[in-house]
A and B are shown apart, each in its own frame.
Chain A
Amino acid sequence: MREITYLEAVREAMTQVMQEDNDVFILGEDIGVYGGAFGVTRGMIEEFGPERIRNTPISESGIAGAAIGSALTGMRPILELQFSDFITIAMDQIVNQAAKLRYMYGGKAQVPMVLRTPSGSGTGAAAQHSQSLEAWVAHVPGLKVVQPATAYDVKGLLKAAIEDNNPVIFYEHKLLYKTKGEVPEEPYSIPLGKADVKREGTDVTIVATAIMVHKALEAAGKLAEEGIEVEVIDPRTLVPLDLETIISSVKKTSRLIVVHEAVKRGGYGGEIASSIAESEAFDYLDAPIKRLGGKEVPIPYNPELEKAAVPQTEDIIKAVKETLNKKIG
Chain B
Amino acid sequence: MNLKVPEMITEEKLVMLYKQMWSIRFFEEKVDEFFAKGMIHGTTHLAVGQEASAAGACAVLEERDMITSTHRGHGHCIAKGAEVNGMMAELFGRTTGYCKGKGGSMHIADVDKGNLGANGIVGGGIPLAVGAALTSNMKNKGYVVLCFFGDGASNEGSFHEAVNLASVWNLPVVFICENNQYGMSGSVKEMVNIEHIADRASSYGIPGLSIDGNDIMEVMNTVDEAVKHARGGNGPTLIEAKTYRWKGHSKSDAKKYRTREEEKEWRDKDPIARLKEQLIAEGILTEAKARQLRDEAKREIEDSVEYAKNSPEPSLDTLMEDIYA
- CB neighbors of B among A87-139 (8 A): 92-93, 96-97, 101-112
CB distance from A120 to the nearest CB of B (A): 27
CB distance from A123 to the nearest CB of B (A): 27
Q: Is the beta-carbon distance between A72 and B111 smaller than 8 angstroms?
A: yes
Q: Which residue of B has the minimal Cβ distance to A52?
A: B138
A-chain residues with CB within 8 Å of residue B324 when the two chains form the complex: 102, 142, 144, 165-166
Q: Which residue of A has the minimal Cβ distance to B97?
A: A106
B-chain residues with CB within 8 Å of residue A144 when the two chains form the complex: 324
Which among B112, B127, B130, B132 has the highest number of chain A CB atoms within 10 Å? B127
Q: Is the beta-carbon distance between A108 and B134 smaller than 8 angstroms?
A: no
Q: Which residue of B has the minimal Cβ distance to A96?
A: B121
Q: Is the beta-carbon distance between A103 and B323 smaller than 8 angstroms?
A: yes
Q: Is the beta-carbon distance between A63 and B116 smaller than 8 angstroms?
A: no
Contact of B111 among A57, A97, A108 (CB under 8 A): A108
Contact of B103 among A67, A77, A93, A104 (CB under 8 A): A104
B-chain residues with CB within 8 Å of residue A109 when the two chains form the complex: 109, 111, 117
A62-B138 contact, Cβ under 8 Å, with A105-B103, A105-B117, A109-B111:
no
Tell yes or no: B139 within 8 A of A by CB.
Answer: yes
A-chain residues with CB within 8 Å of residue B165 when the two chains form the complex: 56-57, 59, 62-63, 66
Please encode chain B, from 306 to 325, with 1 for each CB lying within 8 Å of some chain A CB and 0 for all others: 00000000000000011111
A106-B162 contact, Cβ under 8 Å, with A61-B127, A70-B134, A96-B124:
no
CB distance from B140 to the nearest CB of A (A): 11
Complex CA gap A61/B128 in Å reads 10
B-chain residues with CB within 8 Å of residue A108 when the two chains form the complex: 98-99, 109-112
A93-B322 contact, Cβ under 8 Å, with A61-B158, A62-B164:
no
B-chain residues with CB within 8 Å of residue A141 when the two chains form the complex: 323
A-chain residues with CB within 8 Å of residue B102 when the two chains form the complex: 103-106
Contact of B127 among A51, A69, A71, A105 (CB under 8 A): A69
Tell yes or no: A223 within 8 A of B by CB.
Answer: no
A65-B128 contact, Cβ under 8 Å, with A102-B323, A103-B322, A106-B97:
yes
Q: Is the beta-carbon distance between A106 and B99 smaller than 8 angstroms?
A: yes
- CB neighbors of B among A142-160 (8 A): 142, 144
Tell yes or no: B66 within 8 A of A by CB.
Answer: yes
Q: Is the beta-carbon distance between A73 and B112 smaller than 8 angstroms?
A: no
Contact of A75 among B120, B134, B157 (CB under 8 A): B134
A-chain residues with CB within 8 Å of residue B129 when the two chains form the complex: 69
Complex CA gap A70/B169 in Å reads 14
Complex CA gap A64/B157 in Å reads 13
- CB neighbors of A among B126-177 (8 A): 126-136, 138-139, 157-158, 161-162, 164-165, 168
A-chain residues with CB within 8 Å of residue B135 when the two chains form the complex: 69-70, 73-75
Contact of B164 among A57, A70, A106 (CB under 8 A): A57
Q: Is the beta-carbon distance between A70 and B161 smaller than 8 angstroms?
A: no
Q: Is the beta-carbon distance between A70 and B138 smaller than 8 angstroms?
A: yes
Q: Which residue of A has the minimal Cβ distance to B135?
A: A73
Q: Is the beta-carbon distance between B325 and A112 smaller than 8 angstroms?
A: yes
Please encode chain B, from 54 to 87, with 1 for each CB lying within 8 Å of some chain A CB and 0 for all others: 0000000000001010000000000000000000
Tell yes or no: A25 within 8 A of B by CB.
Answer: yes
Contact of A105 among B68, B99, B162 (CB under 8 A): B99
Q: Which residue of B has the minimal Cβ distance to A112?
A: B325
Tell yes or no: A212 within 8 A of B by CB.
Answer: no
B-chain residues with CB within 8 Å of residue A23 when the two chains form the complex: 139
B-chain residues with CB within 8 Å of residue A72 when the two chains form the complex: 111, 116, 128, 131-132
Complex CA gap A157/B100 in Å reads 33
B-chain residues with CB within 8 Å of residue A77 when the two chains form the complex: 131
Q: Is the beta-carbon distance between B139 and A62 smaller than 8 angstroms?
A: no
Q: Which residue of A has the minimal Cβ distance to B102?
A: A106
Q: Is the beta-carbon distance between A51 and B138 smaller than 8 angstroms?
A: yes
Q: Is the beta-carbon distance between B158 and A62 smaller than 8 angstroms?
A: yes
Q: Is the beta-carbon distance between A68 and B107 smaller than 8 angstroms?
A: no
Please encode chain B, from 83 to 98, with 1 for each CB lying within 8 Å of some chain A CB and 0 for all others: 0000000000000011
A62-B132 contact, Cβ under 8 Å, with A57-B164, A112-B325:
no
A105-B325 contact, Cβ under 8 Å, with A59-B164, A72-B132:
no
B-chain residues with CB within 8 Å of residue A101 when the two chains form the complex: 109, 117
Complex CA gap A9/B262 in Å reads 64
CB distance from B77 to the nearest CB of A (A): 13
Please encode chain A, from 246 to 279, with 1 for each CB lying within 8 Å of some chain B CB and 0 for all others: 0000000000000000000000000000000000
CB distance from A290 to the nearest CB of B (A): 32
Tell yes or no: B208 within 8 A of A by CB.
Answer: no
Contact of B124 among A74, A93, A107, A166 (CB under 8 A): A93
Tell yes or no: B49 within 8 A of A by CB.
Answer: no
24 sampled A-B residue pairs with Cβ under 8 A: A23-B139, A57-B164, A57-B168, A59-B161, A61-B127, A62-B127, A65-B124, A68-B127, A68-B131, A70-B135, A72-B116, A75-B131, A75-B134, A92-B121, A102-B322, A105-B111, A105-B117, A106-B103, A106-B322, A107-B100, A108-B109, A109-B111, A142-B323, A166-B325
Other A-B pairs beyond A73-B66, A74-B139, 17, CB < 8 Å: A25-B138, A57-B161, A63-B161, A64-B127, A65-B128, A69-B133, A71-B131, A73-B111, A73-B135, A101-B109, A104-B99, A105-B98, A105-B103, A105-B109, A108-B99, A111-B325, A142-B323
A-B pairs with the 4 shortest C-beta distances? Answer: A65-B127, A69-B131, A62-B161, A107-B322
